[in-house]
Amino acid sequence: MQSARLFSIFSWVVTGLIVLSLLGFTFWKIQPLESPTTAEFSPTIAPTAEDGKMPSLTSLSASTIKGIPRLVSLNTSIPEQARYYSEEYKVKRGDSVFGIAKQFNIKPETLLWANYDLLQDSPDSIRVGQVLKIPPVDG
């Protein structure tokens, strides 16, 4: 009976130590790190090209370089947005399954599969005036 009581006390002490160490570790990790102290910054004067010679790149420090110039482009190219719905396309004179598929950036097989009820997997079955379903994605 005495040994069972000692074991119970010992196990509670060990459990308490484990809990306290885990709590201490957690609080230690949660606390924000102190920001490092910054040394006083004294800017250096950039060498000039008054004598006709250009300064070497090794003599320039990071504080003297203002930036990298960039050309401005007036034409902004916006990528084509993906479609999330199927479209309907009415076949016009001169259209083909391959041309329509290329126009919508899908494979001809995908167009044939999406319109199996009209085309029966034959690109020759296309007729002027038919309304084809154009799926949003290829495959």
DSSP reduced 3-state for 25: helix
- At the topology level, CATH places domain 87-134 in Membrane-bound Lytic Murein Transglycosylase D; Chain A (3.10.350)
% of the chain beyond a pLDDT of 70: 75
- Residue 122 in tokens: 């034959």
18 or 43: which carries more pLDDT confidence?
18
Distance CA 77, CA 46 (A): 38
Side-chain half-sphere CA neighbours of 100 within 13 A: 28
Q: Look at residue 14 in the predicted model and tell me its pLDDT.
A: 96
Token code pair at residue 81: 């947005």
Residue range 27-65, pLDDT digits in tens: 888 887 665 565 565 666 655 555 566 666 666 565 666
Count of H-run helices and E-run strands, the chain: 4, 2
Of the two residues 82 and 118, the one the predictor is more confident about is: 118
Q: How far apart are CA 112 and CA 124, in angstroms?
A: 11
90 and 129 Cβ atoms separated by less than 8 Å: yes
Q: Rounded to 10 degrees, what is the CA torsion of 134, 137, 138, 139?
A: -110
